[in-house]
Structure 1
Amino acid sequence: MSNEHVRNLFNAAEERRSVAFGVGRSAAGRGCIALSFACYTAWMMACCLGPAVAVPVPPGCLPLDAGAAAGLGSAAAVSVPAWAGPVLAMAVSSVVIAARFRRTRRVPSGSSQLVALASIMTLAAALHLTWALDRSLPEVADAVLYGAASALTGIGAALFRVEIDRAFGWVGTQQTLYQGMLGVVAGTGLVACLVFPTGGGAESLVILQAGAVALPFAAAALLRRVVRGFPRRRYYRYGADMPLPFPAKFVATSAVQGVAAGVLHAILFLLGASFAAVPALVIGQLIAVGLLFATLVFVRLDFNRFIYKVAFPFAAVGFLLLAAAPQVPWAGVTVLFAGFCYLDLVLWSLGACLMKNMGLPATWVASCPGAALFFGVLAGGAVTCVALGGHPREDAAMLAGFVACLLFACALFLSSGSNLKHGWGTVLPGEGGLEAGDLEGVVRFMATERAVTQRETEVMLLLAQGKSRRAICEALTVSPDTVKTHVRAVYRKLDVHSQQELVDRIVAERERLVDDAEEVALG
């Protein structure tokens, strides 16, 4: 790697200060998004925790010791975690939302939408709390109550995910990272305040679930306050008339993440440690925020490196720790929660990139990867329960080692080639120049739309600044033939035939973006 590339990998002193101060300004200016995100994540966690669920199965469909492992004493039923129902409902709801939007392109935008959504989420939390507190109901009534709570939780989570994504897409990738980090800190603080004072036992779980009843309306009110500052029609209709390319690599990435998360949560369930893992979750998420902040301050990474060369190996190391030291599983579990949170934040920012930079609608960007994530969790959990059978402690280490290898392999496979036809792999998550309409931001915006590579983008920027080809050779320390190849590629992808035509195209795009920014400022 050349010295120039090494220098470009690290932020300059002024860039480091800009990121550090940017987080503080983001908290002061748009903190309501972070608080709404915190309420949403805490609500979803509470609605996915609870006692095990006994699901009847036909005789002969279970391993001989599965019933004993589940503590049911009979092979006619299997014990599944409480999160299975809500996650299944989230997956199905996400598919329905995506399919309906693709067919109708309709987006609810009435003032009562968030109120109705908060009402669904509140009812889901109340039903889940009732079900968790009273397991003495007849089997049919218990199943109906759990099914209703799961269905409402899934619908509410999938729909609110779209609304959060819509806000993230409007503020851009940089603000999404900042608000996401702030939201994680606020959410972990909220969960800690509800759980830790009572010692972390069954009483703490009840308090967390009771608190979840009040969180949806708080989340909706905070988000509604944010939305009032945006141009209403454009905010809801943004991207609704655009073509809908299927984000295949984003979906595949979310599916792999879901499978890995499903394996972890299934292992915790089989070991009877789902709720006991809450402290590890809190610590892991705070570690993730600290590491992501440090990465943004000191290093310039594009999405391709962020996701496949940092986040995936991060999670793989957690599984390796779990495999290497099964007698002290909490070290590996904490690292895994940190890795998944780190990856979550980067993927939220990627979703904002697809919306802000590429014009895709929030409903599509939230629902397609969301469905893959939730189905992946179910698949990973099911495979884990079948693979471990009645011996979770003995076999968990071997499974964890296998998943670590799988994550490394997926990282290598998914990071190769271009990421989507839009080229999001070359975009830096921490950049927020588009809001200001600056030249570099506009060039990057156009480059992502036309699948222009990172090196071609550098050439494109220098051309936009009026540099000659000789000056570009000197600035990038490459040969004239290399510059000629890159210039031809840029002209072809942007459908222009000269440097002046390219400059005119970029100027027109910058004027449009400046008009958009002024419209947002005027509200």
Structure 2
Amino acid sequence: MLGTLALSHDALALAGTAAWSVYLAGSLLTGIGSGIVVVLWAELFASLGPKRTVHYSVIALLFAALAYLLIRLLSNDVAQLIVAFLPCISMGCFLHFKQSVPRPPRRTRNARVKERPPVRMIAVASFFGLSFGIMKGLIAPVGDDWIVIRDILNIVAIVGGSLAIFITMSVYKMDFDHLTYQIALPLMAAGFLFLPLHEPWNVIGTAVHQFGYQYFYIVLWALWPVLSARRNVPAGWVVCWGLLFIQLGQFVGSIAASCTLSLIEDDLGMAMVSAFVIFFILIIALFALGNGSTSTGWGFVKPMEEADATSNFEKAGTRLARRCHLSPREIEVFFLLAKGRNRAYIREELVIGDETVKSHVKSIYRKANVHSQQELIDLLEQESSIEK
């Protein structure tokens, strides 16, 4: 609260020769306080599972966008006072909401984590943070009128990104790899396409990039409970790693962009830098989707499908089926085989011919690299016992 007040109130922000000291202190206090608040909320959401994390995140962002538009209608003094008290309001809501969430056992809360950091998640978070930092560092100054328009477009992009992630996760049930590399990364690359142009196109470009970044940010929040459950570690541990490296990526990206900007002399130079960033982002996206990453780790997991699974058997079966790239009909046959059902039962249950059952079973065995129903059951039991 004190940091926000120091940054927003004219009487403190313009305190003569002490202005820089006040600004620096306000920035540090705001950064530390914001980090604590975000970690607490993220840990609380992660304890609720991926589906509810996505739902609450989308609702929170929609309320935040509405609050921003309403605050803009108020006088400057009133708006500054409200902004200064927002951290207190957030923590009040957090304490109230936390009472309805079951607490994990004390031994789990106080356990020392011996797992190695989630390297792949850290790499993805760092890359997206780097891209966001580069975009912020390369944004050319615009007039006051365009700043207002840019802020409003960014809010629209945040709302759009939130609704888009809800649709792609809930309706189309896309997995993490495709949510990240097929949608979020190309959107962020598209933002750089507009950057070398002048108003209004460069302003639109920042909004497009914000759309992709916000989309990924919610993907990251949905990923935390999945990693926490699979590794059997506290959600806060996973959250802190993700937030730390996405912020470090932003810091490094903004510094690199500022250094690059000092070397750019004309629009052609900006166009070349933007083209290089776009090329690099798309190469990363194509490489990540093309190197088989969707068949390993958490990338192939569909967060809403994972949340809908009601037992460890279903969760393990879903992971194994996705990793083996089974078709929808093969998945149905796979689960019946895993329950010990014979071909006659499967034929009657799914109302298909005997030859069709044989064909599906043969394909499932081949994709799972097993030779019998018992080997398939053993493979599923092994999958259930693995802590990811």
- Normalised-by-shorter TM-score class: 0.7 to 0.9
Q: Aligned letter for 1:126?
A: L
> What are structure 1's unaligned runs of at least 5 residues?
1-121, 510-523
Name the residue aligned to 2:25: 148
Name the residue aligned to 1:76: none
Name the residue aligned to 2:281: 407
* Distance 1:483-1:427 versus aligned 2 partners, 3 A rule: same
**2:311 & 2:369 partners in 1: Cα distance?**
23
Identity %: 21
**2:31 & 2:357 partners in 1: Cα distance?**
53
Name the residue aligned to 1:123: 2
Report deviation, 1:305: 0.7
* Distance 1:375-1:498 versus aligned 2 partners, 3 A rule: closer
Q: Aligned letter for 2:90?
A: A
**1:388 & 1:215 partners in 2: Cα distance?**
35
Per the normalisation by structure 2, the TM-score is: 0.80
Do residues 266 (structure 1) and 100 (structure 2) align? no
Name the residue aligned to 2:377: 499
Q: Of 13, 25, 30, which residue of structure 2 is paired with 1:134?
A: 13
Aligned-residue CA RMSD in angstroms?
A: 3.9
* Distance 1:320-1:351 versus aligned 2 partners, 3 A rule: same
Do residues 368 (structure 1) and 241 (structure 2) align? yes
Q: Of 12, 30, 34, which residue of structure 2 is paired with 1:157?
A: 34
* Distance 1:345-1:156 versus aligned 2 partners, 3 A rule: same
Report deviation, 1:368: 1.7
Report deviation, 1:281: 0.9
Report deviation, 1:478: 4.9
Name the residue aligned to 2:126: 255
* Distance 1:172-1:348 versus aligned 2 partners, 3 A rule: same
Do residues 480 (structure 1) and 362 (structure 2) align? yes
How many corresponding residue pairs?
371
* Distance 1:293-1:237 versus aligned 2 partners, 3 A rule: same
**1:163 & 1:327 partners in 2: Cα distance?**
38
**2:111 & 2:370 partners in 1: Cα distance?**
33
Do residues 185 (structure 1) and 59 (structure 2) align? no
Q: Aligned letter for 1:250?
A: M
Residues 317-338 of structure 1 show CA distances to partners (whole Å, capped at 9, x for unaligned) of 2222334676622222221111
Per the normalisation by structure 1, the TM-score is: 0.61
**1:316 & 1:381 partners in 2: Cα distance?**
16
**2:107 & 2:98 partners in 1: Cα distance?**
10
Residues 318-359 of structure 1 show CA distances to partners (whole Å, capped at 9, x for unaligned) of 222334676622222221111111111111111121123442
Name the residue aligned to 2:90: 219
Name the residue aligned to 1:290: 163
* Distance 1:239-1:504 versus aligned 2 partners, 3 A rule: farther
Q: Of 441, 447, 453, which residue of structure 1 is paired with 2:323?
A: 453
**1:349 & 1:324 partners in 2: Cα distance?**
35
Report deviation, 1:275: 4.9
**1:252 & 1:132 partners in 2: Cα distance?**
42
Name the residue aligned to 2:224: 351
Give the secondary-structure state (helix, strand or coil) at the position aligned to 1:232. coil
* Distance 1:243-1:288 versus aligned 2 partners, 3 A rule: same
* Distance 1:504-1:409 versus aligned 2 partners, 3 A rule: closer
Q: Aligned letter for 1:398?
A: M
**1:262 & 1:421 partners in 2: Cα distance?**
30
**2:337 & 2:107 partners in 1: Cα distance?**
36
Contact 1:266 1:384 in 2 (8 A): yes
* Distance 1:474-1:225 versus aligned 2 partners, 3 A rule: farther
**1:392 & 1:271 partners in 2: Cα distance?**
17
* Distance 1:331-1:366 versus aligned 2 partners, 3 A rule: same
* Distance 1:503-1:347 versus aligned 2 partners, 3 A rule: closer
Contact 1:354 1:365 in 2 (8 A): yes
**1:476 & 1:152 partners in 2: Cα distance?**
66
* Distance 1:485-1:441 versus aligned 2 partners, 3 A rule: closer
**2:106 & 2:366 partners in 1: Cα distance?**
41
* Distance 1:483-1:383 versus aligned 2 partners, 3 A rule: same
**1:370 & 1:222 partners in 2: Cα distance?**
21
* Distance 1:231-1:440 versus aligned 2 partners, 3 A rule: same
* Distance 1:433-1:383 versus aligned 2 partners, 3 A rule: closer
* Distance 1:360-1:455 versus aligned 2 partners, 3 A rule: farther
Residues 421-479 of structure 1 show CA distances to partners (whole Å, capped at 9, x for unaligned) of 971111102235467438524644xx48xx98253794863443334489699469557
**2:356 & 2:134 partners in 1: Cα distance?**
51
* Distance 1:475-1:503 versus aligned 2 partners, 3 A rule: farther
**1:192 & 1:285 partners in 2: Cα distance?**
13
**1:158 & 1:236 partners in 2: Cα distance?**
25
